[in-house]
Amino acid sequence: MQDFILSLKSKNEPLFYFGLVCLIFAVFFLVFTKISNTQVYNINAWYKPFKFAASTVFFAWSMAWYCSYLPNFNIKLFNWSVIILLGFEIVYIAIQANRGQLSHFNLSTPFYSFLYSMMAFAASAVTIYTAYVGLLFFIHEFPTLPSHYLWAIRLGIIIFVIFAFEGFVMGSRLTHTIGGADGSSGIPILNWSTKFGDPRVAHFIGMHALQVLPILSFYLLKNTKTTIFVGVLYGLLAIFTLVQAMKGKPFLKLKASKEEVINL
């Protein structure tokens, strides 16, 4: 682990420290879930900034590592685009959590509508920039990289981009629950609905292809055809969970508690 951290820092110091700051924020946000009673949709408000900060750590460090392979790439522009745009998202989500108000889907005032649209712009801009990085991995040759690992990076970025934009499925509906209201019972921390469809499942699975596929390929699969096959299966899994969610079916359907049965 120490070797990885030192290597990551040497490859891209700005994104390394940005990821580290996000990691520290994530820890604080998780602590706040234990000491704060502030809720949004019957869920502790601090889980949302925790999830976004933690996810940003994985993204920033992954892209720092992958971009180090690219020749003649303007890494400074990419770094600061990620830091400014995703940093804005985390700060705004945390501020709204502290106030017990929505960050996403909040159109209650023109100001909140503007900030929500800015969040959509920030996420879209980073995703498009990541898609461009993915294109570069197809255009350039990388003779020092194993073919299976190179294809894992390519497929990881493709699936990430597709399911990052899948966020607009929720944005267009102003809800992340299909077949019910936001705030229904969900699994711990992630809060994916256990009663209704939840497109966040596909969003999560698809976006983390960015880490899962390269790690699997580099350390376990070590074969190009197998990597491509597993990548396709992984993408199909994400698609399946999205289709399932759009039908109003939960990813994990748990038995109702006694209290819920009585309320019925």
Its domain, for residue 72, covers 2-252
Q: Is residue 22 part of a domain?
A: yes
Q: How far apart are CA 55 and CA 70, in angstroms?
A: 23
Q: Is residue 263 part of a domain?
A: no
Residue 183: left if φ>0, alpha if ψ -120 to 50, beta else—which one? Answer: left
Neighbours of 158 (CB within 10 A): 21
Q: Is residue 260 part of a domain?
A: no
Residue 63 CB contacts under 8 Å (≥ 6 apart), including other chains: 15, 78, 82, 130, 133, 210
Q: Is residue 258 part of a domain?
A: no
**pLDDT 10s digits, 213-224:** 999 999 999 999
Judge contact between 152 and 216, C-beta under 8 A: yes
Give me the chain's average pLDDT, please: 94
| DSSP codes of every residue in 36-69 | ---EETTEETTHHHHHHHHHHHHHHHHHHHHHTT
**Count of domains for the chain:** 1
Q: Is residue 262 part of a domain?
A: no
User: Rounded to the nearest 5°, which phi and psi values hold at 106?
Assistant: -95, 105
Work out the average pLDDT over 156-176: 96
Q: Is residue 141 part of a domain?
A: yes
Q: Is residue 154 part of a domain?
A: yes
Helix (H, G, I), strand (E, B) or coil at 204: helix
Q: Is residue 95 part of a domain?
A: yes
**pLDDT 10s digits, 182-208:** 988 889 999 999 999 999 999 999 999
